[in-house]
Amino acid sequence: MPNTLSLQIELPPAVAETYARWLQGRADHIVNQHWNEPRYLRIEDTDKRRASILQRFPSMLAAHQTAAQIRAQLATQEAN
């Protein structure tokens, strides 16, 4: 079982924007614990990085999936 804590906080819009940008930067890295010190390793593979970002931002994941569905529908319409 992962060592995670689910929490919900309400922030003013400016603070929320700053926090979202900070999280976005963290999503580019994986964290390895070494003697209880976090070591951030950059994810070099862009597909893995995108998957990590989408996993941490459910609304972006939903938007990404919706865009993929729309692209698929447009492609099938053009093929017909």
Which of 23, 17, 8 lies closest to 57, judged by CA? 23
* Numbers of helices and strands, H then E, in the chain: 3, 2
Decide if 49 contacts 25 (C-beta within 8 A). no
- Specify the residue for token string 């926090």: 19
| Residue that the structure tokens 């999280």 belong to | 23
pLDDT tens for 28-78 read: 666 666 666 666 666 667 777 777 777 777 777 777 788 888 888 888 888
Q: Which three-class secondary structure state does DSSP give residue 6?
A: coil
pLDDT digits (tens, 9 = 90+) for 15-40: 777 776 676 666 666 666 666 666 66
